[in-house]
Amino acid sequence: MQANVQPLTLPLHGDDRGKLIALEALSELVPFEVKRVYYIFDTTPGTVRGNHAHKNLKQVLICISGACTIVCEMPDGTKSEIRLDWPNRGLLIEGLVWRQMKDFSKDAVLIVLASEHYDEADYIRDYNQFKKECAK
Ligand code: T46
């Protein structure tokens, strides 16, 4: 699978009652069947999470409350930082991408839609191993 990191702008349905965002599997925004949803919240100030890559997993990350920053390193070493600070701002990550999540605001809730069930064997948690995989 080609490594890909793609910011997404999720369509917002707003009126005088408030705002609503709909996410649909196999759509342009979530281009896979969602098998798992998890969320990260109540993070310790200053913490950095992630520090791993996935072999096969596809995910869409959305900070539905507060804000956090996602740092991605592509197989060619290119790095990008994406600030997720509004519920209609998402990030699609697929393929071999080293990721970190940092600078969580106190109220941050990061929700993640994932293409597969949890499988520790899909993780590359060793950075040197990641670089070796990238060189293949
Ligand atoms: C990712 C980033 C964005 C489970 O038991 N089931 C699950 O579905 C998940 C995601 C985690 N866990 C367990 C495994 C660990 O014992 O929860 C604990 C914390 O997981 P981890 O240290 O991998 O969490 P993060 O925040 O570093 O990474 C997570 C996801 O694991 C990862 O796939 O891409 O969020």
Q: Is the pTM of this model over 0.95?
A: yes
Going by alpha carbons, the residue nearest to atom 29 of ligand 1 is 50
Q: Out of 37, 40, 49, 96, give the residue to mutate to test ligand 1, the one with the largest number of ligand atoms within 8 Å of its CB.
A: 49
Q: 125, 52 in Cβ contact below 8 A?
A: yes
- Give the integer Cα–Cα distance in Å for 21 and 5: 21
Q: What is the pLDDT of residue 4?
A: 96
Q: What is the pLDDT of residues 34-60, one digit of tens each?
A: 999 999 999 999 999 999 999 999 999
112 in contact with ligand 1, CB cutoff 6 A: yes
Q: 45, 66 in Cβ contact below 8 A?
A: no
Cα dihedral 56→60→61→62 (10° resolution): -170
